[in-house]
Amino acid sequence: MSRLRSEDGFAIAPAMAVMVIVLALGAAVLTTVNVQSNQTRVESAGEGAFEVADSALNSHLLNLSRSWPTSSAPYPACNQATTATTTCMGTALATNFTTSASPAAGPNGGSNFSSGPAWSARVIDDVGGSGYYSDTLATQTPAPCACDANANGKVWVRAEASVGGRRTVIVSLAEQGEPVLEELPTASIIAGWFTTTNNGKKVIVDAQGNSATAGVVAVRCDTGPDKNDPCLGYDPGKGQLSPSDAYQKGYVDGTGIPNATNRKILDAEALARLKARAQTLGSYYATGCPPTLTGALVYVENPTNGTCSYTSNSQFNSAANPGVIIFAGGQVSLGGTSDYYGLMYMANRQGTAPASGPCTAAHQNSVVNLGGNTEVHGAILVDMCGGVIAGSSGTNITFDANVFGNVVSNGIAGGVKNSYRIIPTS
């Protein structure tokens, strides 16, 4: 009876009950933490997908400023595996992100992803009008042109990204910026040197033209004028320059001290902008010579055999609509009875210059050669120590200050207000 009345082991039952309750609470907490962790992962992946898509969209908008897509130069497909080009950031976009758990592991820090994000960006013409967008444009056949086919200065930019199973699609209407004027010094000629092969008593360079102020002949050398001078080689006693005092020796570009590389009127960035503008207009020539110099902006990269010659009796552009011709390298030669209306810019990439002081004969190279009855109505600008040779039976160069207003590059493209939107995805 005493053993029956014993209370030994009474605590086991309450302890087991408490243990069951604690285990149940632990399981509930574990389930809650697991659900919340998964929700955090899904949210983080969604935010990551948005960040990547937004970055791809913005980089595409930046590319549009460099080169606007036309029907003759549409934008190719662009994604994370594409080699970086002027129309696609491609693999370069990956440097903004890291797939490591360490924030410092990526080249530029960035967002942390367990694996590399997948993304794509494309241009779609606003075939339905600038106020309308349907994502069926991304899948319809035939696909809309990846360009401004209707030439209204507007296109849709669509970007999508996938991170951790989450997908985001963003679109924005992009508008081409207004052309931007590139500032140039106003002169009839700026060059390393100038000479004429004509011995007659006649005007070879009319530096006054129809302008209120004469455009001087500015050279980077410091001797002359004299008929046989290697710097300013014309006969001032025969009125070959009018007005007779419209010249400047020892010309210096910008505000720096002249050296072997800075004797340039436009810097590399400005030339790149003008090149992009010519590509937009379809008048960029990577190699060879253009069949004509007519055009609002013609850009020649590498002339055939280093020289483009035009000897036919032609008129390039007009007084009412002058143009701009840019040669990144090489020379141009005009002959016959031809008239060019506009500005000639010779970057003279093949040219050299002394480390200091004025241009000397050792660095002089011929870049523009005007012969026959050729006449340039506008201005001629030459970089480095490149020179201009004139020598027709009449006036070769007539200054026109109006041509400087046509040296324009592409404006900054940007998203149209209230057109940015996130497209629902299934």
Quick: pLDDT tens for 14-60: 778 778 888 878 777 776 666 565 565 557 778 888 889 999 999 99
Q: Quote the pLDDT of residue 108.
A: 43
Quick: pLDDT tens for 392-414: 778 999 999 999 999 999 888 88
In Å, what is the CA distance from 278 to each residue of 70, 77, 272, 345, 407? Answer: 11, 22, 10, 14, 11
One-letter identity of residue 253: D
Q: For 213, phi and psi rounded to 5 degrees?
A: -120, 135
The bridge status of strand 205-206 relative to strand 118-125 is unpaired
8 A C-beta contact, residue 45 and residue 52: no
Kindly tell me the burial class for residue 176, based on how many C-beta atoms sit within 10 Å of its own C-beta (0-12, 13-18, 19 or more): buried
152 or 247, which is more confident?
247
Partners of 191 in the β-ladder: 219
Tell whether the model's pLDDT for residue 147 goes beyond 90: yes
- Cis ω before 303 (30° cut-off from 0): no
Q: What is the mean pLDDT of the chain?
A: 88
Residues 6+ apart with CB under 8 A from 250: 219, 220, 221, 222, 358
d(CA 330, CA 308): 8
- Using 50, 70 and 90 to split pLDDT, how confident is the model at 151? confident
d(CA 299, CA 283): 6
d(CA 334, CA 388): 12
What is the greatest pairwise CA distance in the chain?
Answer: 149
Quick: pLDDT tens for 69-105: 888 889 998 999 999 888 898 888 876 665 554 444 4
d(CA 80, CA 103): 21
- Using 50, 70 and 90 to split pLDDT, how confident is the model at 106? very low
Indicate the helix (H) or strand (E) that contains 23. Answer: helix 12-66
Kindly tell me the burial class for residue 70, based on how many C-beta atoms sit within 10 Å of its own C-beta (0-12, 13-18, 19 or more): middle
- What's this model's pTM, rounded to 2 decimal places? 0.74
d(CA 239, CA 234): 9
